[in-house]
A and B are shown apart, each in its own frame.
Chain A
């Protein structure tokens, strides 16, 4: 099983002591990237839940910068100590509470005092108190900040710095002298005692603001605190804590001054002055001081990194990063820094000039879709042969991500626009489709109108160049179906033919024409031109698929499936109807079955027999995606489990993957998965180079599952029994955590089956609330005699009438 697609930006990364490596939290593991090449070097595996913070142990002397030890904390309630040069786990401290943030002040303070090294290392951790469930329900404070002795690996008893509604991120000053958290409109600051002894709880101080705060940062040398708020203001408190933290002998003098000389400080906050900078137009997410404290870095939703000169307020910008910024990390090497962006990308910056040196990019996160396009957008498609997934990104690009290598292959800019995260969405990339061999891509984009002016849909065909990595635009078609949106695009499996179906009630078949231009050298061009147009009773076409040999074209016209001859554009047959518009259609391999899904209140998964032109079997299931194997007659569906059945399954499992054989309504295998909503599955061909440790069946295909947050897993759907035999595999499966969780083998299917049987039965047995509409539906031979039905029918009608009258 291959996993990947983890978020790189869930927690701040950390540089190693020599700044050659960058440690990034990627889900349950810590990935270590080289800052020179931007490629992954190694991985630290051991945590069973999301890793929330990484702290690299600083080198006590400059000579020992090669030492590579780090502490990590995770939501699984453990703190682990690693030697990351050899990726070896040294020590585990079990706190048993999910840790959301951890800081270790003693790493930062007093590097010169060697005697200090012998004393214990204390960490402050922000945890969620999940032990007493009752607390939660009573809406009490579950977030706590605790102190932990890392050397002796236990919590310091009795030290609870604060309690809050939910665990907050702890910020620490770069000298390790102060730690702080921000909660809504308040900031709490503690001074860490220099002699960090067991039970002394540090002195604390509170500052408040009128807006919700989003981040804070401490000045490295002076007592200056900056905080960003949700409106884009940066607040600077100078001389905080003069009263609380400074010696008590000064207290009286200060008190006298307090009342009049605290410009800008709200309430009785303990600070000399508070000033505000307002440049950012929306929430400030990043605040960080340069190491000597002269400059301040800030960034936010606009995707602009701003460098402020603290004394003068002068600004320098790194503009147009294109996505909201999440984190800024300066490194031990003054010429390097890193910026984490919300599009799952970490930029390594060359520092004084703020130039992007390298980018480490993970799979792009799902981009939000406006309500009106909810139905007509598809987040990603698979390239079956190359094992790639093409992800639609927010900045109008298609990212090609290798499932096997877990890295970005390329990015294609589809619309000629720069994305600004704070702007309104006026253009959207609706659909992506890839041809079977992956050489042609088709994209659909929609420009939204401004009060009815100038919106249009564009269909674009892209050809992969000979270098086999870059797509180039071959044909642009404006308004392919007048003003109607495109609902589906399908490619012919063998020929240069594509189909676009629209909600406007027609579909078009496009064919490619090769043409060679002899202008000095051979330039081969391909153009796509309309070959045929068809429609079925002006019904909106909602889904389309070519059969595997390309001889039949199935198009769903709302609730019926129409079959066409793609060459001659002749309607061949129309098959039965479903209750809701069909969302997805697919031919199953070489078998003569067609599978369709529809969503809505009567969502349905139906398998149609092409030989009989009738429904073969169907379930009432909310199906998110279908994947059909090319060779044999297997297909897999991703099902979102209904709310009611969630009770008996573990709560983290929102969906299931069911593997069917086309002729048989009993699933062959099933797996529970998390975050199924918005996910997708596909059969992909095995990459030869990866086959070493897997079984030797060359012809077999793997099943890839991408969940709603673009994390994925690739596994062999037929190797279920085999995996049960392999002890190693079952181990890894049981430790999987929330992503793709426990696989249930063939044997345990029978425990699960009755549930589906029930549902299938329920569908046929229960009448809808308007029985007169469905009482006659069904094949005539299975209906009861008309004489019997008639009275029922009349009765049902009468009942309803009286009901409405009264």
Chain B
């Protein structure tokens, strides 16, 4: 005695749907992976050679600089096109770094000289010679505008006073090339450097007499090292491993991520703009490697949240502070720059546009009072947005019916099959076939098909009949089709061709099955012994 309207319970429309596909356990379309996918990499012009470093300007509009061969190219982050080029290097340029106000840029070079440029005028302001070997690492502290630190292949780390072009102190401790480093976000006097002697050292220039505050052994030549935004953790990359360390806790290893297959060349911190509520959870480590993968690692949950493959070995990566641009530099000089496409972007552009053309307040048209004589009076309230506490009564969703569904509803079985075949979605075709089977009409349909429609069916069958998902239905069907329509097939050359193809396919399939069985024969004893253990 269930109470309720039963009339719709009696007549229901069920669209013919293909079988569900098995879904991956890790849902690929999690909002985060969607976010990282939204940085659709746009291949800009190919630069001359390997992109050794990438850096974003800390100030808006967050232009970025790429070093490659003997030049530094500055790109606009809006258009992702090169804005200007600085070419006053004698040898390969390395490690571009913006000052905290974004006006100056420092870069090292294989010649051992460090140069400071004015970003706008492209002129060299200061030259800092001192390193005897190539310099791979130059960096401004996070806030401080007056100093620089650098590391070179002479295994010396130097702390510079920029204005006087003198090195304040030489920090000695590394025993091999110093290739990377980062300034602490907590203090301008502290920084870390990584070296090919497998160690990462933490330096404090206030106590420069002592060799280094802390030394961490990564276990492989360190290719890149960064501070994580909290300032308490650092991430090191070397070999194919990225490790996370607790520096405050005395250099304790927190996690080791081994998901790359080749040497990790560069890492940087990225930010997901998804949940603005929980700001601590939105930082990610972006790592690129020679294997061509860009991986995004969530170090709070210790999980890889996204993995993107690029066609060539990657050398450097950078992520803009406003979370809108991500650039990846490859070893063959291709720069993959991606801008996030969001509605917010468009809106913000529009609002800015509005600012420019807004000549004071534009008068809004006065709202007319609705009277019962107006047509709209009777429609009032229909476009009202529901407020928070309102209970929404949804309109029942209309089931969308495809062409073959409509034909099936009219019991036009052959036409439904033909329309599904014409639509060329194999899943739908098989679903329609299954529906016809449950109406016991499939073979009747097959025998009613015209010659050209039969050709359509045969074309479909030869394309899909050995595909494992559909083979169960289709292979038996092929047999029946050939049995039923032998006369028509022998009368048409086109159909004969299909049958010939089918024959070939079947021979091929038998060969595949045989080889699979062989493999199974090889594997199953192994599995048995493994299971026994």
* Chain A CB within 8 A of B398 CB: no
Q: Which residues of B contact A449 (CB under 8 A)?
A: 437
User: Do B434 and A37 have beta carbons less than 8 Å apart?
Assistant: no
Residue A193 CB within 8 A of the other chain: no
Residue pair B442, A418 in contact (C-beta under 8 Å): no
Q: Check if A450 sits within 8 Å of B10, measured CB to CB.
A: no
* A478-B30 Cα distance, complex, nearest whole Å: 26
A320 CB–B CB distance under 8 Å: yes
Q: Is the CB of A478 within 8 A of B19?
A: yes
How many A-B contacts at CB < 8 Å in the complex? 97
Give residues of chain B (9-39) contacting chain A, Cβ–Cβ below 8 Å: 9-12, 14, 17, 19-20, 23, 25, 27, 30-31
The proximity string for A residues 124-160 relative to B, scoring 1 for CB distances below 8 Å and 0 otherwise, is: 0000000000000000000000000000000000000
The residue in B14, B437, B476 that gathers the most chain A C-beta atoms within 10 A of its C-beta is B437
Q: Which of B6, B23, B437 contacts A359 (CB 8 A)?
A: B6
Contact A453 B3 (CB under 8 A): no
Residues of A near B17 (CB, < 8 A) are 416
Residue A33 at the chain B interface, CB threshold 8 Å = yes
Closest B residue, CB atoms, query A478: B19
Residue pair A321, B10 in contact (C-beta under 8 Å): yes
Q: How does the 8 Å CB contact mask read for A731-754 relative to B, with 1 for contact and 0 for none?
A: 000000000000000000000000
> B15 to nearest A CB, angstroms?
9
B248 in the interface (beta carbon within 8 A) = no
Evaluate contact between B3 and A358: CB separation under 8 angstroms. yes
Cα A416 to Cα B442 with chains together (Å): 19
Instruction: Decide if A454 touches B27 in the complex (CB within 8 Å).
Output: no
Q: Which of B14, B20, B436, B442 contacts A476 (CB 8 A)?
A: B20
Q: Separation in Å of the B474 CB from the closest CB of chain A? A: 9
Nearest CB on A from B401, distance (A): 14
Partner of B443, one of A416, A427, A451, A519: A451
Q: How far is the CA of A450 from the CA of B435 in the complex (A)?
A: 11
Collect the chain A residues with CB atoms within 8 Å of residue B7's CB.
Answer: 355-356
> Which chain A positions have C-beta within 8 A of B436?
450
A427's nearest neighbour on chain B, judged by CB, is B438
The interface stretch among A404-412, A646-654, A681-689 is A404-412
**Which A residues are CB-close (under 8 A) to B522?**
none
Q: Counting CB contacts under 8 A, is B254 at the interface?
A: no
CB of A38 within 8 Å of the partner chain? yes
Interface string of A444-472 (1 = CB under 8 A from B): 00011111111110000000000000000
| Cα A408 to Cα B25 with chains together (Å) | 37
A321: chain B residues at CB < 8 Å are: 10
Give B460-488 as 1s and 0s: 1 = Cβ < 8 Å from A's Cβ atoms.
00000000000011001100100000000
Known pairs A451-B480, A453-B480, A454-B433; A418 contacts B12 (CB<8 A): yes
Check A518 against B2 for contact (C-beta < 8 Å).
no
Chain B residue numbers with a CB within 8 Å of A407 are 1-2
Chain A CB within 8 A of B439 CB? yes
Q: Are A38 and B477 in contact (CB under 8 A)?
A: no
A residues near B20, Cβ cutoff 8 Å: 476, 478
Q: Is B440 an interface residue (CB 8 A)?
A: yes
Q: Quick one: given A452-B476, A453-B442, A453-B473, are A322 and B437 in contact (CB under 8 Å)?
A: no
Most buried by A among B6, B27, B439: B6
Does B366 sit at the interface, judged by CB under 8 A?
no
Residue of B7, B436, B440 contacting most chain A CB atoms (<10 Å) = B7
List residues of chain A with CB within 8 A of the CB of B439: 426
* A451→B440 CA distance, assembly (Å): 9
CB of A39 within 8 A of CB of B19, answer no
Tell me the chain A residues, 504-558 only, with Cβ under 8 Å from chain B: 513, 515, 517-519, 527, 529
- A356 and B2: CB pair below 8 A? no
Determine the chain B residues whose CB is within 8 A of the CB of A33 once the complex forms. Answer: 1
The interface centre, meaning the residue of A360, A413, A424, A451 with most chain B CB atoms within 10 A of its CB, is A451
- Inside 8 A of B14's CB, which chain A residues have their CB? 416-418
From B4, B5, B440, give the contact of A450 (CB < 8 A).
Answer: B440
Tell me whether A285 is interfacial, beta carbon within 8 Å: no
Q: Across the interface, name the chain B residue whose C-beta is closest to A458.
A: B19
A40 to B25, CA, bound (A): 48
- At the interface, yes or no: A761 with Cβ under 8 Å from chain B? no
In the bound complex, do residue A319 and residue B11 qualify as a contact, i.e. CB atoms below 8 Å apart? Answer: yes
Q: Which of A358, A361, A453, A529 is within 8 Å of B437, CB to CB? A: A453
Q: A347 interface residue, CB < 8 Å from B? A: yes
A450-B3 in contact given A320-B10, A322-B10 (Cβ < 8 Å): no
Instruction: Answer whether A529 and B25 are a contact pair too, CB < 8 Å, given A320-B11, A418-B12, A450-B443.
Output: yes
CB atoms of A40 and B6 under 8 A apart: no
Residues on A with C-beta less than 8 A from B443 are: 450-451, 453
CA distance A519 to B35 in the complex (A): 13
**Count of residues in A whose CB is under 8 Å from the partner chain:** 49
- Point out the residue from A40, A359, A408, A417 that lies within 8 Å of B438, measured CB to CB: A417
Q: Are A426 and B440 in contact (CB under 8 A)?
A: yes
With A451-B443, A519-B31 as given contacts, are A410 and B3 in contact (CB-CB < 8 Å)?
Answer: no
Q: Which of B6, B434, B442 contacts A347 (CB 8 A)?
A: B6
User: Contact: A450 with B19, CB < 8 Å?
Assistant: no
Separation of A319 and B12 alpha carbons in the complex (Å): 12
Partner of B2 from A410, A416, A513 at Cβ < 8 Å: A410
Q: Which residues of A contact B440 (CB under 8 A)?
A: 424, 426, 450
A424 to B440, CA, bound (A): 9
| A517 CB contact (under 8 Å) in B19, B27, B437, B473 | B27
A513 and B25 contact, Cβ closer than 8 Å, known pairs A347-B6, A453-B477: yes
- Asked whether, in the complex, the Cβ of A359 is within 8 Å of the Cβ of B11, the reply is no
- Bound-state Cα–Cα, A694 to B462, Å: 70
Q: Which residues of A contact B480 (CB under 8 A)?
A: 451-453
Take A418-B14, A453-B473, A456-B472 as given contacts and tell me if A447 and B438 are in contact as well, using a CB distance cutoff of 8 Å.
Answer: yes
Are B2 and A408 in contact, CB atoms less than 8 angstroms apart?
yes
**When chains A and B are docked, how far (Å) is the Cα of A416 from the Cα of B16?**
9
Bound complex: CA of A734 vs CA of B450, how far in Å? Answer: 71
* A518 CB contacts on chain B under 8 angstroms: 31
Establish whether residues B437 and A447, one from each chain, have CB atoms under 8 Å apart when the complex forms.
yes
Complex CA gap A417/B477 in Å reads 23
Given A426-B440, A454-B473, the answer on whether A356 and B25 have CB atoms closer than 8 Å is: no
Which chain B residues border A527 with CB–CB below 8 Å?
23, 25
State whether A39 touches B1 (Cβ < 8 A). Answer: yes
B-facing mask of A345-371, CB < 8 A → 1, else 0? 001000000011011110000000000
Nearest-Cβ distance from residue A55 to partner chain B, whole angstroms: 24
Could you tell me the distance between the alpha carbons of A453 and B472 in the complex, rounded to whole angstroms?
A: 8
Q: Provide the bound-state CA to CA distance between A456 and B471, in Å.
A: 13
In the assembled complex, the Cα of A347 lies from the Cα of B6 at a distance in Å of 9
Min distance, Cβ B424 to any Cβ of chain A, angstroms: 20
In the complex, A221 Cα to B11 Cα: how many Å? Answer: 36
Q: Which residue of B lies closest to A347 (CB)?
A: B6
Please indicate the chain A residues that have their CB under 8 angstroms from the CB of B472 in the complex. Answer: 454, 456, 479, 483
- With A33-B1, A451-B480 as known contacts, state yes or no: A426 contacts B12, CB within 8 Å: no
Q: Which of B11, B19, B27 contacts A418 (CB 8 A)?
A: B11
> How far apart are B274's CB and chain A's nearest CB, in angstroms?
9
Q: Which residue of B lies closest to A453 (CB)?
A: B476
What's the minimum C-beta distance from A509 to chain B, rounded to whole angstroms? 15
Most buried by B among A33, A478, A483: A478
Query: Which residues of B sit under 8 angstroms from A517, Cβ to Cβ?
Result: 27, 30
Q: Complex Cα distance A270/B25, Å?
A: 77
Q: For residue A412, give the distance in angstroms from its CB to the closest CB of chain B.
A: 12
B364 CB to nearest A CB, Å: 33
**CB<8 Å pairs between A and B, sample of 27:** A38-B1, A38-B2, A38-B3, A39-B1, A356-B7, A359-B1, A359-B6, A360-B1, A408-B2, A409-B2, A416-B14, A417-B14, A450-B437, A452-B476, A453-B433, A453-B442, A453-B476, A453-B477, A454-B437, A454-B473, A454-B476, A455-B437, A478-B19, A479-B472, A517-B27, A518-B31, A527-B23
Extra pairs beyond A356-B5, A478-B20, A527-B25 (17, CB < 8 Å): A39-B1, A355-B7, A359-B2, A409-B2, A416-B14, A418-B12, A426-B437, A426-B440, A447-B437, A449-B437, A450-B440, A450-B443, A453-B433, A453-B473, A454-B433, A483-B472, A518-B31
